[in-house]
Amino acid sequence: MKCRVCREKAVIDIRRHNAAFCREHFIHHCRQQVVRAMEKFDMIAREERVLVAVSGGKDSLMLWDVLLDLGYAADGLYIGLGIGEYSDASHEKAAEFAARREAHLVVVDLETSYGFGIPGGARSVRRAACSACGLSKRYVMNDAAITGGYDVLATGHNLDDEAAVLFGNVLHWNMDALVRQRPVLPASRGFVRKVKPLIRLGERETAAYSVLNGIDYIVEECPMVEGNTGLRYKAALNELETAAPGTKNQLYFGFVERALPHFEQLGAAGGAAVGECGRCGAPTTGDVCAFCRMRETAAPSAPRGAEGSEPELDPTP
């Protein structure tokens, strides 16, 4: 197996590209895939301040690494979810990476700032852990980006993630989610722009990039993952990909290029009016946002905002 570029011995082959690469050219290839995605979808302008959401895993640390190498002003954001040792170990990986790259890591701990962690929060509102976790992460990421004055929030979702989520959204014809499943979600009132620069890279490639660059990441899965349907969709797509390399790419980019424009028209026509949450001021279609509802049930007497934010007036009449 020889490198497509220099004909030296290859360290990895990528079947959907029908190509193999040596270490140096693989790293270059990964960077180019990120650049191509960012250019094609107008993700981040040169002078913008980026907040990269980092979980301590291979994808988000790789993304931070590439953005720093490309010269972007990119800080990291780690959210402590209160999932015992798993959270402690993930935090450590993110902090070690930040120290090694001499980059700035913003840390928001759910328990310290909002009075609850994911296990307790999920139990209190009888949601699956992953759903309570997704809700909390979206809320904290947006809040941290707005509060910190960042222009854009970047996450480490890769092609495998996006294809699996799309597969699930199509199986259930989840129209709201389909309209929002874009490589770039533009800023709107109260919401920062959100981008996914790794959509052209598969999980195997982000893992290989991290290993080849000496990025120490958390390998363990989250212990609360039990019953997560996303993993089943990933397994099904992996089987299809093995039989026909390029299937995930075709599914996801076919959707983005051919179907999404139609879904966006539907989204623009409908959609409930967005107002402000009566507790935290975040945009919501109800009176109180879903995150505040969970926080009030999980930690009724806890602080009402991230540390350092303005104390809110007592909302009781």
Interface ranges with ligand AMP (CB under 6 A)? 53-55, 59-60, 77-79, 81, 137, 155-157, 161
**Could you tell me which of 307, 280, 314 has the C-alpha nearest to residue 295?**
280
Residues that bind Zn ion (CB under 5 A): 3, 5-6, 22, 25, 277, 279-280, 282, 289, 292
Pick 50 or 129: Cβ nearer ligand FES: 129
Pick 60 or 136: Cβ nearer Zn ion: 136
Q: Which does 290 bind (CB under 5 to 8 A by kind): ligand AMP, ligand FES, Zn ion, none?
A: none
Query: In 3-state terms, what secondary structure has residue 79?
Result: strand
User: Got the DSSP string for 278-308?
Assistant: TTT--EESSSS-HHHHHHHHH-TTS-SSSTT
Q: Which does 282 bind (CB under 5 to 8 A by kind): Zn ion, ligand FES, ligand AMP, none?
A: Zn ion
* Least distance to ligand AMP, CB of residue 77, Å: 5
Residue 178's Cα: distance from chain center in Å? 16
Contacts of 75 (CB under 8 A, 6+ apart): 49, 50, 51, 52, 103, 104, 105, 106, 148, 150
Contact of 312 with 305, CB cutoff 8 Å:
yes
* Least distance to ligand FES, CB of residue 109, Å: 14
Return the HEC string of 93-104: HHHHHHHHHCCC
Pick 53 or 290: Cβ nearer Zn ion: 290
Pick 21 or 78: Cβ nearer ligand AMP: 78
Pick 59 or 241: Cβ nearer ligand AMP: 59
Residue 3 structure tokens? 């490198």
Pick 129 or 144: Cβ nearer ligand FES: 129
DSSP letter for 16, please. Answer: G
Which regions of the chain does DSSP assign to beta strands (E)? Answer: 12-14, 19-21, 49-53, 73-80, 105-109, 152-154, 184-185, 193-195, 275-276, 283-284
**The residue to which tokens 């993993």 are assigned:** 231
Q: Which does 118 bind (CB under 5 to 8 A by kind): Zn ion, ligand FES, ligand AMP, none?
A: ligand FES
Q: Which does 79 bind (CB under 5 to 8 A by kind): ligand FES, Zn ion, ligand AMP, none?
A: ligand AMP
Residues that bind ligand FES (CB under 6 A): 81, 118, 129-130, 133, 222, 224-225
* Least distance to ligand FES, CB of residue 222, Å: 3
Q: Which does 53 bind (CB under 5 to 8 A by kind): ligand AMP, Zn ion, ligand FES, none?
A: ligand AMP
